[in-house]
Amino acid sequence: MMNDPRRRLTDAVAGRLESGAAALRRYGRRVQGTGRTLILGGVRSGKSRHAEQLMTRHPHVVYIAAGLPPSDEDPEWAARVAAHRARRPVSWRTVETSDLASALRDARSPVLIDCLGTWASRVLDEVGAWDQQDGWEARLDERLQAFVDIWQSTTVPVVAVSNEVGSGVVPPTPSGRIFRDVLGALNTAVAAHSDDVRLVVAGRVLDLR
C-alpha cells in the first residue's frame, strides 16, 4: 500500500493544499474581496462562456490559455481552441503558457484563466507523473503551491475556469485517478482562497458561497 502512487499523491500534494473542509474553515472568512472567482463545471456545461461574460465589463483582459497549444496532430483540439479564440473580444490579450504562477503574478490587467483542468494535465506531463519519474510528486507540489500562493495574493480581478471531476465514476486507470485527485485538491485550494465560487450545470449557474 505504501507504494501506491495515489497514497504518495495524497501525502505530497493534497496534504499541503489541505482537505476541502479544513481549508474552507481556515481560509473561507479571510478573503478580502479582491475579485477572485472560481467557476467549476463539467464538459460543455457553459462554464467558459459564463467566465467570459463576467469579464466583458473590463475593456482590457489578459486571457491565459494554460492548456496545450493547438496542433495539426489533434484537429479536434485545434478546433476547440479556435472556437474559444473567435469568442474573445479583440481588445483581450492572449498568453499561452504553462507557467501559470508567473503569468498571474506579472498581470496588471484583469485576468481570465481557462482552464485549471487542462493546466493540471499539462503540468502532470511536464513533471513526469504519468510514468512515475523520481521526484515527480515534489515537482508537482511546487508548481501547484506556487500558483495557489499567487492566486491568494493577487490584486487584479481574476476569474479561473476549472473542471469538476469528482462526480463521475472512479477512473479505470492510474493516470486517470492521479488527474482526478490532483485537480480535486487544486480546485479545493483555489476555492478556499476565492471571493466567489460558482458551479455551472447545463448552462445554469449555482452560487456556492
* Binding region: 41-48, 65-67, 85-88, 96, 114
Distance, in Å, from the CA atom of 164 to the CA atom of 199, rounded to the nearest integer, reads 8
From 50, 58, 60, 84, active-site residue: 84
Distance, in Å, from the CA atom of 159 to the CA atom of 110, rounded to the nearest integer, reads 8
SS3 content of the chain, % helix, strand, coil (to 5): 45, 15, 35
- Binding site membership for GTP: which residues? 41-48, 65-67, 85-88, 96, 114
Q: Which residues contact 128 (CB under 8 A, 6 or more apart)?
A: 135, 136, 139
In angstroms, the Cα distances linking 186 to 133, 161, 173 are 21, 12, 20
SS3 at position 200: strand
Mark whether 60 is an active-site residue. Answer: no
Q: Which residues contact 176 (CB under 8 A, 6 or more apart)?
A: none
Going through the chain in order, the beta strands assigned E by DSSP cover 36-41, 62-65, 93-96, 111-114, 158-163, 196-201, 204-207
Active site residues: 84
